[in-house]
Amino acid sequence: MQQLIEKYLKGDKVIWTIIILLSLYSIVMAYSSSSNLAFRISGGNVAPYVIKHTLIIIIGIILIIYLQFFPYKYFSRLSQIGIFVSIILLFVTLLFGVSKGNASRWIMGFQPSDFAKLVLIIYVSRMLTNKKEDIKDFKKGLIPILWPVALICGLILPADFSTAAMLFTVCFTMMFIGGAKIKHLGSIIGTAFLGFVFLILVNIAVPGFLPRVDTWEKRMMSFGSGEKQENYQAEMAKRAVANGFLFGKGPGKGHVKNDLYSAQSDFIYASSIEEFGSIIGGIGLVILYMILFFRAIRIMNKVDSKFASFIVFGLSFMLIFQSFINMGVGVNLFPVTGQPLPLISMGGTSILFTCISLGIILNVSTTVYKDSENVYL
């Protein structure tokens, strides 16, 4: 057993431990929280959903193992191709994608925004490394980085505001760490804000022209007003959290999940607290994600390559940012966004691309931790 671990589980063993714990926990939660989905679609049989979720997790683990042996320097070159592929996929999805709640996010069972997030972070890491001497110059240093960020976030925005805003924030933070001037970053923020206001004004002038803007407004207004009729899902999530209290009702014994349409995805954190309590199902998950992030920061600070350092920070920050948004929605701190909880929420492409991100982080960590005695330090 020890030989298999040393052969296939390379790099930071603490991160590997967290991946395994979250994966096992996600299977338990998939079985427990998919009851509403099963009753609506397959007569109450949760087995197909649990089996599918387990298979996706297994495939994801295999991807992580494979990526540990793939030299990370090649991701830099691949991102040059990937950035154009993601732009094409997002454009096609915007025009012909499968709609869900007035949002075209899927094409052929695939969500291109997950691919675009990964590729853009790698591409920005490449550009920050190549432009490190010119990063203080807005025209020479920042413009070549900004145009793909603006284009990809702009293509994601009409269908998925939260993902576009989250990805923009991650890339913006990477540019800040990369040494960009504060005044340049301030102008970027100002331009982005004006663009957002413009979209709202256009939708007010031409009602229904941008259906997703209506959705953003309704969610923010219902969240701010606390109107229960308009905020039913969030109210059910709050009830689940209250029911769980400190120690929870026990695995599979939660009741509110039966009234939550997205108990297995958007509100899985609330379901987790109801069944496992605030200590294990709530704070426990927060601690695991925070340890994951701190381990990634440690890897970032120790790795010699600037490119690898930016990759590790960008991917880990994206994962932790996404997890805190999901958990914030689950306890009614934020409006409903539709962001899954990494490695926990049921899903296809989101889990696989989360695993790819973790595989790349572990890949970089193998260059930092040369021998098994140092992986816990």
Cut 0.75: pTM above it: yes
- What is the number of structural domains in the chain? 2
Answer for the pair 61, 23: CB distance below 8 angstroms, yes or no. Answer: yes
Do 58 and 142 have their domain in common?
Answer: no
Q: Which helix (H) or strand (E) holds 106?
A: strand 104-106
Q: What is the pLDDT of residue 284?
A: 94
Strands 104-106 and 98-99: antiparallel
In which domain, by residue range, is 324 found? 28-69+231-370+373-377
Q: What is the pLDDT of residue 192?
A: 85
How high is the mean pLDDT in each 10-residue block of the chain (377 residues)?
69 92 91 72 73 92 90 88 92 72 59 91 94 85 91 86 90 92 90 81 67 61 54 78 82 74 80 89 94 95 91 96 92 82 87 94 83 42
Do 210 and 264 have their domain in common?
Answer: no
Do 85 and 185 have their domain in common?
Answer: yes
Boundary residue ending a domain (206, 228, 250): 228
Residues 6+ apart with CB under 8 A from 224: none
Q: Residue 19: inside a domain, yes or no?
A: no
Q: What is the pLDDT of residue 199?
A: 75
Do 159 and 236 have their domain in common?
Answer: no
Q: What is the pLDDT of residue 221?
A: 59
Q: Computed from CA positions of residues 112, 115, 121, 124, in that sequence, does the dihedral angle turn out positive or negative?
A: negative
Residues 6+ apart with CB under 8 A from 366: 10, 11, 68
Boundary residue ending a domain (165, 195, 228): 228
Q: Residue 196: inside a domain, yes or no?
A: yes
Do 79 and 65 have their domain in common?
Answer: no
The rounded distance, in Å, linking the Cα atoms of 66 and 360 is 10
Q: Residue 14: inside a domain, yes or no?
A: no
Q: Computed from CA positions of residues 271, 277, 280, 285, in that sequence, does the dihedral angle turn out positive or negative?
A: positive
Q: Residue 52: inside a domain, yes or no?
A: yes
Do 58 and 180 have their domain in common?
Answer: no
Q: What is the pLDDT of residue 5?
A: 65
Q: What is the pLDDT of residue 296?
A: 95
Do 197 and 339 have their domain in common?
Answer: no
Do 48 and 113 have their domain in common?
Answer: no
Do 283 and 223 have their domain in common?
Answer: no
